[in-house]
Structure 1
């Protein structure tokens, strides 16, 4: 795979798993995350050749920072073939009328606006070069709202709509758009949602065999490597122990 892949939220979870699978298949990687030292750890752990990776400390919520990161890419890194909009998070599990404003804003700014900023600054180049693929990481939460999931589910429903809208807007160009929407994946997701409460986070996956980040990255890689005329619009994947956003079989 002689392509340049830009992955946001690459320091952990699905982003780090995508880094692994694309690196193993010879891609050149632009890795972005807020935690620069974690990005360095991922690269060291995977023994990625430094000539094949470009690291950026980036908070996708900051539009000026996104613009600067894209516009200041070295020439040899600027022709991005695949954008994986993976940066995203959930904060809190409160009833809407009891929710924390700062949690809402962090989810909306990261999951929706951050994804929009990345897309807006990268896709014009793809259209110009007549090649490219945008892969958005959605969620089962974008298809099915669950109790106390209100704003998070709303942000992932937005990702679904934005992916569909982008696909329509790019009709007539060779640029592809895919949304990969997982159910339960064991990452830092629940720990972040519960503001670092590891005990509460562990209970989410108790008695269940959830998806792993590698499972999701495998599907993302599959979508990215189809023939140029094939576009996989949307993939919903869940563990066998999960039937819907709320129906989970716990042993």
Structure 2
């Protein structure tokens, strides 16, 4: 593959699984994350399969985002596919008990971080008159559940940005779509519950949750469709899940 894929949040979960799968299919990879040691390990692991470049920055820092993307060597300058995967949930409190620090983190990462990265890369795609942007949303962007308030708001924002982005970039021949997963067993719940491993593990007990590899497989399918096909908005849940609050734990 000559196509270059830019993945945020590449050091764990869906981002890491996507990087591994795309490496096996010989895409050139630009892998981004906050944890430099994980990026180094990932480059060593996947460098035997494909060409890999890493960028160490926090999507919340707009100056760092721009500086990192502007630093890309010529070999990686033509980005074909952007996967806006970086995102987090912090806390599970009622609106009246919520932490402003948690709110800031979710809005800064899930919304503003996605915008900062997209703002830096979209002009490159416009110049090429071609590109594909995959925004990783959530079923939380399609409904609101108890104590989800600000996290759900951030993912509803991703849903709206995805739609607006698709409209604005239509004239440039750029494909834009969102993938909205339900329960995926990753570090997500450990972050949400701030290191409370027992509480995090209980989220996925009693049923078969989605795996990061399941989502990576769907992303690969999406970007490898003929160019006249754009998967604009896709929701995927484990069979045991009917909604954010209804999960069959007898399967």
TM-score range, shorter chain: over 0.9
TM-score by length of 1: 0.97
Alignment RMSD (CA, Å): 1.1
Q: Deviations over 1:8-60 (max 9, x none)?
A: 0000000001101110101010000000111222333x443386000111100
Q: 1:50 to 1:34 in 2, by over 3 A?
A: farther
Mapped partners of 1:15, 1:26: distance in 2 = 16
Shift of 1:105: 0.3
Shift of 1:172: 1.8
1:14 aligned onto 2:33: no
Contact 2:10 2:32 in 1 (8 A): yes
Aligned residue in 2 for 1:142: 141
Mapped partners of 1:81, 1:110: distance in 2 = 23
Contact 2:43 2:53 in 1 (8 A): no
Q: Where do residues 22-37 of structure 1 align in structure 2 (5 Å cutoff)?
A: 22-37=22-37
Mapped partners of 1:158, 1:14: distance in 2 = 20
Shift of 1:245: 1.1
Aligned residue in 2 for 1:93: 92
Q: Deviations over 1:173-231 (max 9, x none)?
A: 21100100000000000000000111000000010100000000100111111111111
Q: Where do residues 4-153 of structure 1 align in structure 2 (5 Å cutoff)?
A: 4-44=4-44, 46-49=45-48, 52-153=51-152
The gaps in structure 1 that reach 5 residues or longer are none
Mapped partners of 2:17, 2:147: distance in 1 = 29
Aligned residues: 250
TM-score by length of 2: 0.97
1:213 aligned onto 2:212: yes
The 3-state SS of whatever aligns with 1:215 is: helix
The gaps in structure 2 that reach 5 residues or longer are none
